[in-house]
Every structure is written in structure tokens, then in C-alpha cells.
Structure 1
Amino acid sequence: MDDFGVYAIFGVDEPPQQILRREGWQSSIEIQPSVQLVVLFTRGDWGKRDSVSVELADERNIPINMGKLTPFNKCLSWESGEDGVWSSGATLTVNLIGGATEFLDPGLTLSWMECTPECIPAVPALRECPGKRKRSQGEEEEEEEEEVNEGRGKENICPNASEKVTPQRRSKNNHRGGQTRLFSQKEEQTATSSSQSHKAKGKLAKTPSQTAPLDKPSGRWGQTVCPIDPQTAILIGGQGARMQFCKDPIWKLCTEDLSWVPAETLAEGPTPEARIGHTATYDPESKRIFVFGGSKHKKWFNDVHILDTQTWRWTLVEAQGKVPPLAYHSCSMFRGELFVFGGVFPRPHPEPDGCSDSIYIFNPEMAIWYQPIVNGEKPAPRSGHSACVMQGRIFVFGGWDTPVCFNDMFMLDLGLMEFSAVKTSGTAPSPRSWHGCAVLSDCSFLIHGGYNGNNALSDAFVFNTDTSCWSSLAFPQLNSVPRAGHSIITMPTTCKQGCTDEQEELPESVPQTLLVFGGGDNEGSFFSDLFTMPVEELRD
């Protein structure tokens, strides 16, 4: 007998109540303001059911929070203070995905109560129950409002933000006058007016665009896309409209048909907290993804999360050694170790924000951070640059350290641990940061788009490491839409049907495909598009 059901607890003193009972109907439950705690959980055999989507919306039907119950994550909880996120009432919607949709008992509909608090306290954290990482959703929303209202001196503001990217900082080299804005005046006014209109609510209202469709990720910038095998890539993190962190932070991309699958609940263990400016690096030997650093408004990270793609389990590393919290750094894998270069520090260490010119190495086997002795001509401190490993060398291009934006190239010889400036020829890219970078061959890599301090860019260039020569590219797909903070990867061109197990281990000579996802255009738009190009065309 299939006794599967979804149950809810409204308040710590209330018994569980079954809210999914019989087939053929679905509904919603209204939550009165006096309810301080909502807990959802499942019981019984899941059978063919995939997941239960859950949405908590305020009295205007604007989503407050979203979540999913799955066979691996069977419990969710939300908490409210005296004037919490549903102070004027809320609606809880539950939808069964896969298998038969069942009935929400209308007898469980709760009446609304008008509540007029004397003051508006801070919104407490909304969290998931034990078994998954506890997400501080309420803290995110509180910080998001502070970020829109204040927004001063924060490095982690995207190419669609309403304030400066970094505070003023003197450069060792040339100086550029004036402070830069990363948003159009129209978008800035929209964000400010929205913040003021909802200030009395004690929280920033969500926009409908933040409700992600089920078939693909929501628009974002500052995410990572990491290939793990010839048919699969993993999307992690990102930030969308109004500087709100994406509520659908982890996706799996199947490159055979370019389809997306929500993946936040596919893996067990503590998932990384929402963030941007982090790095995700795949080690093909251990088949693990290493997520390091990043930032979330006033919160900065120096943690290392590891996703084992064979067991689908997250692990938070308790590493020895010291590495500072960093965002917009680069991370390269070489002989099983992670090489982290550059990035921006959080305030107030130092004050104002400053960028790094140091290299930190993480050894996964020993779970230890250390700093190597590096000789030669080091690059100036920077963040938002790119780095790629080719033939035992790391090539570092671009980035910025307010108010200077770079288009120089440096090479780190990983055998000698020596930096040197690369003298280039040809048509070089203009100064930029937050651009996309992808290796095209053993001796060439692509630079695309980025942000120059005023505008998002759409141009593309290929650098040949043998000749140290730049070449510009003209392709409508690449050059039509300016974007920054996007992701570019290359993957083997896979067949859509009839592939055998032997074909999974593809030789290096197999045709490659370039994939470009997301980013922002500095005009208030964040992209969720994914387009592909044959790498062979770019090489030619």
C-alpha cells in the first residue's frame, strides 16, 4: 500500500497534519500572521514521484521563498519573527511533480489575521531543516535591502548594479579619473524607488523574474559552469536582478540535448552557501569539483566545498594553513593542486577594499593551504581577471584594481614558479574584467566580452601562445550581445543518440564545442540563454 504523504506543522505546539491526500486536485494554504513556524516533510514510499515543489508567497502573491522536497531532502522549514516575512499573511503552495498530483485538504485552510506591530524588527533567518545545509534566506533578503539602500564600497556588485564596483584605491601604474558606475541611471532609480516603497515592510519585495522556470536556470551573472564529463556540466551560484542571489543555485546541464536539470537536492551533504565571484574547478583524476571563495554582499568566503561527482556528496573541507577570504580571483588545477591568484579582499582588511597579487596553493590530499616562493615580474594586484593552464604555464589576462582596468598578459611557469610579462602582437583586447575565457587548443585560448568600467563588451579575441599574437574574431553569435560575468566552457561534441560506453572516453582529437551561458549587459538585463559554437570555426 502506498502511504506516501506530505505533512505540515504550523507552530511548535501543533501536531503534524497531512496536506496531500487524494488524487486529482491541488490547492494552496493560507497562513495567518500568528504562525511563527512552518515545517513540511514527507512520509512513505516516493514511488515514481520526482519531487514536491514548495512556494511561500506573501499577500501580494510575490514569492518569499522556494524549495523542494525530494527523496534525498525530505524536510523544509521556515521561521518568522513578530513582524516576519508573512506579517500580513502568506500562501503556501505545494505541487507534486512526477506521479499523481494529490489533493490539498481545504479544511486545513487557515484564516488571515491583521497584525499591526509597534515596530519593525529585522527579518530572522529562513532556513531549511537538518539534513541539508541551512540556508539563511532571511539574512540574504535583509542584506539585499541594505545593499540597495547603501551599496557603498562593495566589490561584489555586478555589471548591472546601482553603485560602484569598488571604492577608490590608488594604483601603482596609470590612473584613470572618476569613479565608475555599473548600472544605467534608469535601473538605479528603479532599484532605489523599489527599496523605498517596501521599506515599511521590513524586507525587499521579490520581483516575478526571480521565480525560476523549472526547465532552465534563471538569468544571472557571477556563476560558474564546470564540465565534469563529455556529456555533463554543473552550474553553481550566481546573482540576478536587484542584486538578489538566485534561488535556483545549482543545475546540471546535459550537453547531448542542451537540457537543464535542477541539481541542488541531487547531492547529499552541506551545499555551498549562495555566492558570486567564486571558482569551481574540476579534477578529472579524482572526479571532484572544488568550490572556493566568493562573496555574498557583506559576507566573504575562504571555504572549500568539494562535490564528489561519483557519489554525489558535498563535503566542507577543514583545511590547515591560511588563505584570506577572496572573490573574483582565478583558480587553476595543476597536478592535483589548486593555484589561486589575485582576487579582492573584503572590508575592512585592508581598508578600503584592495586586490591581491599573491598565489595560494591548496593541496587536497593534505587538506592544507600554503604560499609558494614566486620569482620574476609579478602582475599588479587585480580581480575579475582570467587564468588558464596551458603546457605547464598559467596565462593571466586583464582584470582590474579600482580605478585601473588592465589588458596586460602575464605567464607563470609552474616548473620554475616564475612570473614574466608576455609581449604580445596583433590586435589586443581593450582593458576589461569579468570577461569569459576558454582554452581552444594546446596553443590558443579565447577572450570574450567583459566589463571595461563603463560598458559591457561583446568583442572576442584568440591568443596564440606559440606566436604571442592576438587575433580578433567576428561571429554574430559572439558579437551580437554585450555581456559580462558570463561563463564560457569547451566540451567534446557529443552525439545525440546511439553513443556507446566506449565512446564516453573521447580522444583529444574529437571535435569540441564552445558553450556560453548567462551574464549581464550593464543595462539591467541578466541572461539565462545558452548558445553553442563549433570550436573549429573559432580556430580557423
Structure 2
Amino acid sequence: MHDFGVYVVFGAAEAPRQIINIYKSEKSSIAVKPGVQQIVLFTRGRWEKCTSVAVELNDESGVLICLGKLTPFNKCISWEIWEDGAWTDGATLTVQLEGVKSDPDPALTIAQNEYTPECNTAAFVPRGGKRKRSLEKKEDNEEATGQENICPNSSEKATPHRRSRGNVRSGQALLFPQKEEQSTARTPQNPKTKGKQSKTPTQAASADSPSGRWGQTLCPIDPQTAILIGGQGARMQFCKDPIWKLCTEDLSWVPAETLAEGPTPEARMGHTATYDPESKRIFVFGGSKHKKWFNDVHILDTESWRWTMVEAQGKVPPLAYHSCTLFRGELFVFGGVFPRPHPEPDGCSDSLYIFNPEMAIWYQPIVNGNKPAPRSGHSACVMQGKIFIFAGWDTPVCFNDMFQLDLCLMEFSAVQTSGSAPSPRSWHDCAALNDTRFLVHGGYNGNDALSDTFIFDTDTSCWTSLTLPQLTTVPRAGHSIITMATACTKDATDDQDQLLESSPQTLLIFGGGDNEGSFFSDLITIPVKELCE
């Protein structure tokens, strides 16, 4: 077996070169040639003498551009430029071995909490700067393959365009126009301040909480635990801390990327994460990352704490901003954005796909009735054997209609609602409060993030508007809403299901953004009893 080493490839035409050898040094730097548009790092040899490899890419001033980490489960990192620019002159790639051991072990042993990688896949941070007009024109005419559908416009106010000042990647759904950006690590802020901002991202993750983000998922797995997966933060940068555990007993966060074995899902946003209480597994499906779209299914077994990727039969298109609900052990995926080639823009789906985990197969059921229009960024909630689908958008239309899918008859029908209905929106979220009511909060109307809250009663088909100080102060979209049991003292022998049923329920809202450049990592908690009253 070859000695352990780290190798780098600059572009597709160059041969790999060794950048570091464990017997010669533990840290090494190498200059990046101007014009290089792809960097690939990989390891070769046995992981006996180190636990991980930290990788940094800095510009000529020493400012961090990209950050990543190689591990025994993620042995390769690839950085690519999706814009017309290249790495700035004088960029430096630095590689450092971590957890180096003096004597080789007979077998690889890594403690679960030994380290916390910043990111299992590295994301390129767009660099600010001027662009040539000729290059901008070229971008306008380039192929639209992989580009995500632009935001809808529901009023006369101009819809934010996908491209903004600086290097915004094509192919990225621009929910928040990149003004002079700030992000928030704990408390939401409004960055409507004058003056030039730093060209480096200000997003920062504290050691005990996730960084600000939107487009993530927050998935409850037991009465006191939820798992946060993915998301994107300031300057179109995918979060370097993609997976966290939330403990609702004390509302504490624990970095969880290294707690599970196996290949973790690639960084993404607009995906779904659905928990099956019977098999105690989380199913992560779809999403997007720059020009890359996903239709893969990753499973996290919460008992063995191991990731696996499903090789499913059947066909399902790459989708993002779709909905995914669980019914009788199967995943029901509706709508979403899918990539279409030039000259057509990215399209929204009105199709229903079902994934059967036991058979590892995708199939499309025969459905009848009044089908919803194609849409994405909508919400879906399973109640009383029906999936209630609300709002969403398909350029240039933003919806506020409600449809239901009867899961016994497999029949769609429009729901005629009454009361104070929400305005058209997308990228909102919803959560069930009890057997007959669910809550909808926030979203994006094509121009602004929203802060209003509504409850829908499935028995009466009536909307009720709520005014809560905790929710009205900060508009947000792309956030996550769940309901979970709150802390209470119980015997350790108590059944988890009984604990879930008997404990008071709490509504939790995490993250999102305000369409003004701020990305939140705050956690809002409201007793469900207070909402229902």
C-alpha cells in the first residue's frame, strides 16, 4: 500500500501532483496558476496516521476564498468556477494534516466527536469585482441548462433579478438579491445601512449554534431531537456546517456531521428531509447546488447513525423546492422546479411521484380530479388521510390557492376556503398543530419577505390570521417550521411515543432570510397551546 499523501489536480488537462506526504511534513502550500477554473484534491494511501485533512484556498491578500476538509468518508474535494472569472492572481492552496499519530494503528479508529469538519464538500465563494460588458452579454445568451426558475412577481414592483452586482452564479435561485450583504449569527439584523461593505463574507458560525441560512431542512426524529441538514448563507455560499442536532430539552445545538458514518449528502438547498417513525430513518431527496440538480435519495438511520445512498429503480426527475410527505411508509413528492435546456427556462412540475423505501422504487400513481397548476416553493401537510397543498409559484404567477389530495381515492380537488386567507407566496413553511389544524408562516411574494401567520382548519376550511410579536418583527422566507415536545421530567423508562403524546407541544421556527441580505440562525419557540387558543 502506498504511503498516505494528498494530491491536487489543476484543471482537466494537468496530471495529479503530490502536495503533501505524511512522512515529510504535516502542512504544505502551493500557488494556484492564474486562469485555473477547477481544483480537485484527493488522498491516496491508508488513513492510519491522521484523522482528517484541512484545506484552505486564500487570495493574494490572505483572505479565505474556500474552506474544506478531507476525511476517510470524503476523500475528494472539487472546486469549480461557475462564472466567467478565474482564481485571482496569487491564490494559495494550503493543506494541513490533522490528528497525526506517531505510530500507525492496526485498524482505523476515529472517535465520533474527535473533530467537526467545516464542510464535507467545499463551496466556492463568489469574488466581488468588476466584470467586462462582453462577458455579461455572453452570460445573458448562455445555455439555461441547470438554471433555477426565477422568483415570481405578484405586484407591479419589479421582481428581483437573478443577477446582481458582483459575481452571482447563474443557475442559483436568487431569493435574496445580493445587496450590501450582512448575515446574522444569532439575532436577526436589518442591514439597510449605507456605505461599502467588506468584500469577504461576514457570515460566521459560533461554536455552539448553526450559521445563518435558508433553504435547509429541520427534521424531528424523536420527542426531544431534530436534525438540521443543508442550506445556503451569505454570498450564495453553502454552509460549512451542514448538519446539526437540536435538543429541545435545553434548546442546545450539537454539530452532527461526524456523528454518522457513511457518505453524507452533498451540500444542497431546496431539498426535503422526511422522517419515518416506523423505520426510524430520515429520507433526504432532491435539491440543487449551483448548476447541479439532484434526484438522489440519501437515508440516515438514526439508530445505527449511518448514511446510505439508495440505488432506486424507476424514474424521477431532478427536483428542488418540491414538497415531500410521508403516508403509510411511502414518500409522496409533488411539484418542484426541474432544469430544462435552452431556450426554455427552468420549469415547474405538477407531477406526483411516490417512493417506496421497502422496494427502493419510484413510481407515478394514476390520479384523478382537479389537479393543481405546476408550482414550486409550496407547502404540503398530511392530515386526516389527505395532503393539503398550499401556494407556491411558477413564473410569473404566485399562488395562494389550496388543493387537497385524497390518499385513499388518489383524487385531487380544489379547497374552497373562507376567512382571512394568506396573500400569494412561496418559500414559506407549515406545521401541523393538531389533528385538524396547521400553521403557515412567512414566505416570499416575489418582491418582499413576509412575516404574517395563519392557521387553517381542515374541518371548516377556514383561515384565521394570527398576530404574534415573536413572528411579526422579522420577515423571513426559506425557513423551517416544526412542532416538537417540550422539556418535561419523566422516568427514563417511559415509552417515547407516550412521552410525545403526553408532553406539551412547541412550535419551533429556525433560520431563513429577509430578502435584504440577512440570513438568520435564530430559533423561535411558541407553545402550540398558545397558538390554538
> Scaled by the length of structure 2, what TM-score is found?
0.75
Cα distance in structure 2, aligned partners of 1:54 and 1:422: 53
Over 3 Å counting, the alpha-carbon distance change for 1:534 and 1:55 in structure 2 is farther
Cα distance in structure 1, aligned partners of 2:466 and 2:97: 47
Cα distance in structure 1, aligned partners of 2:312 and 2:122: 24
- In the alignment, does 2:472 pair up with 1:479? yes
Which position in structure 2 is the counterpart of 1:500? 492
Cα distance in structure 2, aligned partners of 1:279 and 1:394: 16
Using the TM superposition, give the Cα deviation of residue 96 of structure 1 relative to its aligned residue in structure 2, in angstroms: 7.0
Q: 1:297 aligns with which of 267, 271, 290?
A: 290
String of CA shifts for 1:246-266, please: whole Å, max 9, x gaps.
222222222222222222232
Secondary structure of 1:431's counterpart equals coil
Using the TM superposition, give the Cα deviation of residue 339 of structure 1 relative to its aligned residue in structure 2, in angstroms: 0.5
Using the TM superposition, give the Cα deviation of residue 37 of structure 1 relative to its aligned residue in structure 2, in angstroms: 8.1
Which position in structure 1 is the counterpart of 2:194? none
Using the TM superposition, give the Cα deviation of residue 468 of structure 1 relative to its aligned residue in structure 2, in angstroms: 1.1
Cα distance in structure 2, aligned partners of 1:62 and 1:252: 30
- In the alignment, does 2:34 pair up with 1:12? no
Over 3 Å counting, the alpha-carbon distance change for 1:500 and 1:182 in structure 2 is farther
Matches within 5 A, 1:85-100: 88-90=90-92, 92=94
Cα distance in structure 1, aligned partners of 2:342 and 2:389: 25
Secondary structure of 1:502's counterpart equals coil
Matches within 5 A, 1:327-406: 327-348=320-341, 351-406=344-399
Which position in structure 2 is the counterpart of 1:322? 315
Using the TM superposition, give the Cα deviation of residue 210 of structure 1 relative to its aligned residue in structure 2, in angstroms: 4.4
- In the alignment, does 2:48 pair up with 1:62? no
String of CA shifts for 1:424-455, please: whole Å, max 9, x gaps.
11111011110020111001000000001111
Q: Which has the higher helix share?
A: 1
Name structure 1 gaps, 5 residues minimum.
Answer: 1-5, 21-27, 104-132, 159-163, 169-174, 196-204
Q: What residue identity is the alignment partner of 1:60?
A: S
String of CA shifts for 1:362-389, please: whole Å, max 9, x gaps.
1111111111111111111111100000
- In the alignment, does 2:165 pair up with 1:189? yes
- In the alignment, does 2:309 pair up with 1:307? no
Q: What residue identity is the alignment partner of 1:339?
A: F
Is contact 1:30-1:89 (8 Å) kept? Answer: no
Which position in structure 1 is the counterpart of 2:451? 458
Is contact 2:57-2:91 (8 Å) kept? Answer: no
Which position in structure 1 is the counterpart of 2:228? 235
Using the TM superposition, give the Cα deviation of residue 231 of structure 1 relative to its aligned residue in structure 2, in angstroms: 1.7
Name structure 2 gaps, 5 residues minimum.
Answer: 9-16, 34-38, 103-118, 170-177, 179-197
Secondary structure of 2:284's counterpart equals strand
Q: What residue identity is the alignment partner of 2:386?
A: R
Which position in structure 2 is the counterpart of 1:223? 216
Is contact 1:155-1:165 (8 Å) kept? Answer: no
Matches within 5 A, 1:134-283: 135=121, 137=123, 150=139, 164-165=150-151, 180-181=159-160, 188-189=164-165, 207-283=200-276
Which position in structure 2 is the counterpart of 1:128? none
Cα distance in structure 1, aligned partners of 2:101 and 2:372: 61
Secondary structure of 2:400's counterpart equals coil
Which position in structure 1 is the counterpart of 2:410? 417
Secondary structure of 2:433's counterpart equals strand
Cα distance in structure 1, aligned partners of 2:303 and 2:529: 31
Is contact 1:513-1:533 (8 Å) kept? Answer: yes
Is contact 2:201-2:234 (8 Å) kept? Answer: no
Cα distance in structure 2, aligned partners of 1:52 and 1:12: 14
**Identical residues among aligned pairs (%):** 64
Number of residue equivalences:
461
Q: What residue identity is the alignment partner of 1:220?
A: R
Cα distance in structure 2, aligned partners of 1:539 and 1:53: 49
Over 3 Å counting, the alpha-carbon distance change for 1:218 and 1:154 in structure 2 is farther
Matches within 5 A, 1:97-116: none
Aligned CA RMSD, in angstroms, stands at 4.0
Which position in structure 2 is the counterpart of 1:436? 429
Q: What residue identity is the alignment partner of 1:253?
A: L
Q: What residue identity is the alignment partner of 2:308?
A: T
Cα distance in structure 1, aligned partners of 2:336 and 2:481: 19
Q: What residue identity is the alignment partner of 2:59?
A: D
Cα distance in structure 2, aligned partners of 1:14 and 1:403: 52
Q: What residue identity is the alignment partner of 2:280?
A: K
Cα distance in structure 2, aligned partners of 1:470 and 1:442: 16
Is contact 2:123-2:238 (8 Å) kept? Answer: no
Secondary structure of 1:214's counterpart equals coil
Cα distance in structure 2, aligned partners of 1:427 and 1:471: 6
Secondary structure of 1:348's counterpart equals coil
> Which structure ranks higher in relative contact order (CA pairs < 8 Å, sequence separation ≥ 6)?
2
> Scaled by the length of structure 1, what TM-score is found?
0.74
Is contact 1:56-1:93 (8 Å) kept? Answer: no
